[in-house]
Structure formats: structure tokens, C-alpha cells
Amino acid sequence: KDFRNNVKPNWCPGCGDFSVQAAIQRAAANVGLEPENLAVISGIGCSGRISGYINAYGFHGIHGRALPIAQGVKLANRELTVIASGGDGDGFAIGMAHTVHAIRRNLDITYIVMDNQIYGLTKGQTSPRSAVGFKTKSTPQGSIESPLSPLEIAMAAGATFVAQSFSSDLKQLTSLIEQGIQHKGFALINVFSPCVTFNKVNTYDWFKENIVNLDQFPDYDPTNRVAAMNKIMETNGMLTGLIYRDTTRKSYEDLIPGFREEGLYRQDLRLDQSQFEELVAEFY
């Protein structure tokens, strides 16, 4: 069960995305997957390269469209474990509509966002996650827009699994990805993944000072939706750990009448003449 391949990542030394790659590889092995059971679908950005760095099926999609592709893969082959991944620009700017609708749809997919609060691949512009006052080439006088809160949006959209972690905490990150894979529904895992080259504000040290680990609250109940929303707001979205999980809601696949467990490739989808005519007649 080796999810490493021989492709050398071309991320900058120290980039937080290395830990996400390692965490996915470890989590996939820990839950007992084989490389042929896993598909990693990514969008565009430095983090989008991750689909080429894991020994599994990989699909490097177009900007903001990792989730539509991932949902198509999952519907075509339920036997696959599907991980979608990308950056905060990919998922929370151009891909935001897909993110919200994938959350409310609740297909059995794990979505890992490498959130570095900047556009790295295009050499440092303000992203939807950048703080007010953040100076980049696109906001030389400082951003005047409020940063988007992905955790609040996920909760408002009816998420059944919301977690957040940090690239420096490989143990927690691996555990959350394992739990996300095992969750029967859509799992959002936002990961603070520092861009060491272009973001000189939200550094590893900055995150270490500002993160609030849910381990500090032994009585915290991740099944309590109101408590989860309150904790997200109390901590200004800086908390890490398993924030919310609802195991009572069925996944999208389980709600489709007659939808079968086996992938379409195992099914005989041909219609004979009478079945075809019956189908056509339904639309008259």
C-alpha cells in the first residue's frame, strides 16, 4: 500500500503542501485502501499539482472545477474513494459555487483545501482568504475586502463533515483525512498550508501563534451544529480539529432510487428495443 510515486514535487522547499501530500498518502494506507481504490482530482494552482504526486488515479482538472469532475467520477464508480483537492483561490473564488453545491449535495467525497491565503502559482496576489490590509501585487495599498470564512459557509450550506488542520500538525491532519474518507458524505477539510515564498504574513510561526486547537476543549461536541458555529465565530475561524460531523444524513448516492453499489463499468447498461421504447414513451 505505497501511495508514493517517483514524481518529484516542484513545490518550493518548505511549502505546506508537502505535508498535505504526505498526510493523504498515510491516511489512504491507514484506512486500508489500495492505489487502485483511490482517485485524487485537483484544480489549478500550486496545490493542484498534488494529483500527480500520489500513486493513485489522478486527474488534474481546470481552474475551480475539481469538484464537478470528482462528483462525476464518484457517480460513475462508487467503488472508488474520491479525494478532491486544490487551493483557496481554486475552491473559494472561481470554484465557490461548486463548493457550496457539492456541500449541500453531500456526495461521498473528501475535499481538501490547501489554504495559504494567497495566489502562489501566479506569484502572489490577494485571494478570497487574504485578510483586510494584506498587501500584494494586486492590492499594493492593502486589501479592503473582508476575507471569506469557509467554515461558516460550509456550516450554512448544510455540511455533514467540517474539519480544519495545519500543515505542521501531520498527525492531526492525517487523522482528519482518515475520518473524512470514512465519513459517508461530503467532507470538507480546510488546511492552513503556508506559502513560504509569497506570503510573508501568514507564516508557520503566525499560524502557531493564532491557531486554536479543539483539543483544548475536552467537552466540545462535534455533533452539535450550534456549538460548532459558535466556536468557529468565537475563534475567528482559526480553530483546528474535527469541528462538525453529522452521521444521520444519507449521502447523495444513497438517496438516488435504484442507484447501485457497483461502478457503472460492472453494469450492463444496454437496453433492448422494448426497454428503449418504454423509456422514450415516458417522455411523451
The least distance separating ligand SF4 from the CB of residue 15, rounded to whole angstroms, comes to: 3
Residue 241's H or E segment, with its range, is strand 239-245
116 binds ligand SF4 (CB under 6 A): yes
Contact 64, 90 (CB under 8 A): yes
Stretches 116-124, 140-148, 181-189, 270-278: which one binds ligand SF4 (CB under 6 A)?
116-124
120 binds ligand SF4 (CB under 6 A): yes
Return d(Cα 104, Cα 109) in angstroms, integer.
12
Does the protein bind ligand SF4 through residue 44 (CB under 6 A)? no
Annotate 247-272 with DSSP letters as a single string.
-SSPPHHHHSTT--SS-GGGS-----
- Contact 76/253 with Cβ under 8 angstroms? no
Residue of the chain from 41, 176, 195, 242 that contacts ligand SF4 (CB under 6 A): 195
Helix, strand or coil for residue 26? helix
Region of 10-18, 34-42, 125-133, 220-228 interacting with ligand SF4 (CB under 6 A): 10-18
Nearer to ligand SF4, 63 or 184 (CB): 63
Q: Return the range that interacts with ligand SF4 (CB under 6 A); candidates 25-33, 98-106, 137-145, 189-197.
A: 189-197
17 sits near ligand SF4 (criterion: CB under 6 A): yes
Closest CB to ligand SF4 among residues 14, 260: 14
Query: Considering Cα of 232, then 234, then 236, then 240, what sign does the dihedral take?
Result: negative
Q: Does 197 bind ligand SF4 (CB under 6 A)?
A: yes
**DSSP H or E run through 112:** strand 109-115
Number of residues that bind ligand SF4 (CB under 6 A): 12
